Amino acid sequence: MQTYDSTARTTPSRYRERARYDRETVHGILDEALICHVGYVRSDRQVVLPTLHVRLGEILYLHGSTGSGPMVTAAGSPDGLPVCVTVTLVDGLVLARSAMHHSLEYRSVVAMGNARLVTDPDEKLRALAAVLDHVAPGRSADSRPPNARELAATALLALDLIEVSAKVRTGGPMDDADDIGLPYWAGVVPLTVTAGTPVPADDLEAGVPVPSYLAPYRRT
């Protein structure tokens, strides 16, 4: 099993037994999550923003507008923009008898490093198509590709997956032995992201069918 090297920064302070460094787990979480949260420093202040991402091999691409904060800051960072990208999937509520042992079932990934602005036109086109296919597999071939003006307005950051770790919590509550008999319900409430029926745009021409990748739409 191929694994990422753990570092001081990717070793959790708490619940180290939940840490995972194998590529299969990390890739699976990054691929399933629709969005990520990217942290970076701008004017000496940290900022956390949600954005779309896609993984291609060992590169994590982050999508944004050319004029957005991370992209402008990256353009002024010749060594790349230091970022922390975090992806979190919440799989359930864990209810214990004790307040203390309440938890969540979750799978998260934290990736750190210096992200570079993508400037190669071929890489940019490929990564933008991949972002679209990350949202809905097959969509890049089923929509109008970006033109030169649109490409100029769109930017991508690329982060090599080197300093990266996952954290996974599964299973039910772990109550103290003394608490087992207390008269409180304990267990897990599973949570999933569910897609509803696709709603056509008001101006959609008659006869355009809902594509197969949307009906049904699933993240897993």
Nearer to a copy of itself, 21 or 172 (CB): 172
Comparison of 23 and 37: residue with beta carbon closer to a copy of itself? 37
Q: Which of 68, 154, 165 is nearest to 112 (CA)?
A: 165
**HSE toward the beta carbon, residue 100, CA cutoff 13 A:** 4
Task: Quote the least distance from Cβ 187 to a copy of itself, whole Å.
Answer: 4
**Using a CB cutoff of 8 Å and minimum separation of 24, what contacts does 143-146 make?**
none
Nearer to a copy of itself, 2 or 73 (CB): 73
Amino acid, res. 133: D
C-beta closer to a copy of itself: residue 90 or 162: 90
Tell the smallest beta-carbon distance from residue 121 to a copy of itself (Å). Answer: 15
Closer residue to a copy of itself (CB): 3 or 42 = 42
HEC profile of 203-217: CCCCCCCCCHHHCCC
Task: Output DSSP code: residue 35.
Answer: E
Nearest distance in Å: CB 59, a copy of itself: 19
CB-neighbour burial class of residue 212 (10 A; exposed 0-12, middle 13-18, buried 19+): exposed
Q: In terms of DSSP bridges, do strands 154-160 and 103-117 run parallel, antiparallel, or are they unpaired?
A: antiparallel
State the minimum distance, in angstroms, from the CB of residue 116 to a copy of itself. 17
Residues 6+ apart with CB under 8 A from 50: 35, 36, 37, 38
Cα–Cα distance for residue pair 175/102, rounded to 1 Å: 9
- The region, left, alpha or beta by phi > 0 then psi within -120 to 50, assigned to residue 171 is left
Taking the complex as a whole, how short is the minimal distance between the CB of residue 58 and a copy of itself, in angstroms? 20
CB 1 to a copy of itself: min, Å: 25
23 vs 146, beta carbon nearer a copy of itself: 146
Alpha carbons 168 and 150: distance in angstroms, whole number: 38
